[in-house]
Amino acid sequence: MDISDLSKAYGNTLAVDHLSLRVQSGEIFGFLGPNGAGKTTTMRMLLGLVRPTSGNARVLEMDIKTDLPKILDRTGSIIENPTFYPYLSGRDNLRAIARLTGTPYDRIPPILDLVDLTSSAGRKFKTYSLGMKQRLAVGAAMLHGPDLLILDEPANGLDPAGIVEMRDLMKRLRGEGRTVLISSHVLHEIEQICDRIVILNRGRVVVQGRVSDLLGASEALEVRIAQIDEAQRILEAVPWVRGIRRDSGRLLLDAPPECASDVTQVLAEQGLYLSGMRPQERSLEQYFLDVTGGNGQ
């Protein structure tokens, strides 16, 4: 997938602002951002549900403006909240979709196995847990054997067990060589399953890259000290401290770990002495908050 300078305006509001990114074949790519950042709008443009204002995108090496039917033949998707017939079983819901799409019924058993619903396939959909419903939605998206999956918040509303089940499903999809574009607010899960991510804010790319590279370059120093207010004031004036915040009675400095001894010296010169200090690698959740300016998810 190659997105180039893609924009979408609604009146005077630019929902997606000259977005450019590339998703490589066979990877799980995380599409992150606060509410209203432009994630769902972008996914809708890629699927032909919304017409771009400007720019272009190539999906599976085809142009979304001229080759959309061919793209959709090879793409499965979940956008917002998928619905099924509540009084039909999981299996019969997939059969109904298969009839509509001309998909052979023999595709259904391996799909049920992939999404771990074989033992529950005969139960009515209305009896499914939310996690089971979301996995059935992924199964429905995969029924025609797509090369690409576009999943908008597949873990939305899931309990911890459901989140783990969805994580395991994503890993199975990677094992099959599928390409997955996934948006989610469950950032600790994105950290575990995605190869690369992009973070959007106000329709623009803030940062993109491999998860390991982004977090590996985002180490912080955790400082514990009794005189926390005075220490923060002093350290905020130090040029190599790129940022500082308070968290649960400690200071987290955006500073190179090799500057630990300099932190000790700067504070000691002002008569302040640490009770503890250690390097701390930020989680994806904290990294997200830092680069989006603390916007809510």
pLDDT tens sequence across 67-117 = 999 999 999 999 978 899 999 999 999 999 999 999 999 999 999 999 999
pTM: 0.81
At residue 297, does pLDDT exceed 50? no
115, 125, 139, 193 from 118: Cα distances, Å = 8, 13, 11, 24
* Domains in the chain: boundaries: 2-212, 219-281
* Unique residue bearing structure tokens 């979408």: 8
CA separation for the pair 214, 198 (Å, rounded) = 10
CATH superfamily membership of 2-212: P-loop containing nucleotide triphosphate hydrolases (3.40.50.300)
| Amino acid 43: pLDDT | 97
User: Whole-angstrom Cα distance, residue 211 to residue 282?
Assistant: 12
Q: In this predicted model, what pLDDT tens digit does every residue of 188-243 receive, in sequence order?
A: 889 889 999 999 999 999 999 998 888 876 567 889 999 999 999 999 998 888 88
Cα 72 to Cα 55, 151, 210, 252, 267: the distances in Å are 20, 14, 27, 46, 60
* Predicted confidence (pLDDT) per residue in 22-79, tens digit: 999 999 999 999 989 999 999 999 999 999 999 999 999 999 999 999 999 999 999 9
Q: Do domains 2-212 and 219-281 have the same CATH topology?
A: no
Q: Which CATH architecture is the domain 219-281 placed in?
A: 2-Layer Sandwich (3.30)
DSSP class per residue in 255-283? S-GGGHHHHHHHHHTTT---SEEEEEEPP
Single-letter residue type at 252: L
Would you say residue 286 has pLDDT above 90?
A: no
